Amino acid sequence: MNFAFLDPAYLWIKAFHIIFIVAWMAGLFYLPRLYVYHTQTQVGSESSERFKVMERRLLRGIMNPAMILTWLFGILLVLTPGVVNFHQGWLHAKLALVVILSAFHMFCARWRKDFMNDRNKHTEKFYRIVNEIPTVLLILIVILAVVKPF
């Protein structure tokens, strides 16, 4: 199938891909931090209920749409003729890391449901540690996308 019709929109597609990555990453940096603070509240307290609202709005209102649009514009970039060489390993490594990042997003959503149902099983320390995962993944993804080491 020929996707040459995407050529004139390449820079727009790339710009929107980056915009939605930034929004998604902001949420992935912030949501686990909210969980750190949420663990410090009493179940059923006013603070706990406020965190539930913040977490839901962040995930559903920003992170989910940003992740979907990041994937959509990323797929459009890949489909644009001449943009990527499928024989280069960096693309496969980058896509694998993006899949891992998406899985992390899903874990964050599951943890939000646990908090929503007052069944959080993890400690403050756990959320402090997992809060670093998106940073490490972002560094690796950017290096692969910009440097294209292999």
- The reported pTM is 0.95
**Per-residue confidence at 145, pLDDT binned at 50, 70, 90?**
very high
> In total, how many domains does the chain have?
1
Q: How far apart are CA 58 and CA 31, in angstroms?
A: 7
Sign of CA dihedral 6, 7, 9, 11: positive
30 is written with which tokens? Answer: 């912030």
pLDDT of 1: 81
Domain holding 113, by residue range, is 4-147
pLDDT of 44: 96
- Which of 111, 123, 119 has its CA nearest to residue 63? 111
Whether the CB-CB separation of 115 and 52 falls below 8 Å is answered with yes
Region 9-35: mean pLDDT is 98
- The predicted-structure confidence for 106-120, as pLDDT tens digits, reads as follows 999 999 999 999 999
Cβ of 32: how many Cβ atoms within 10 Å?
22
Widest CA span in the chain: 57
Whether the CB-CB separation of 19 and 68 falls below 8 Å is answered with no
Q: How far apart are CA 90 and CA 97, in angstroms?
A: 11
Q: Which residue matches tokens 């449901």?
A: 113
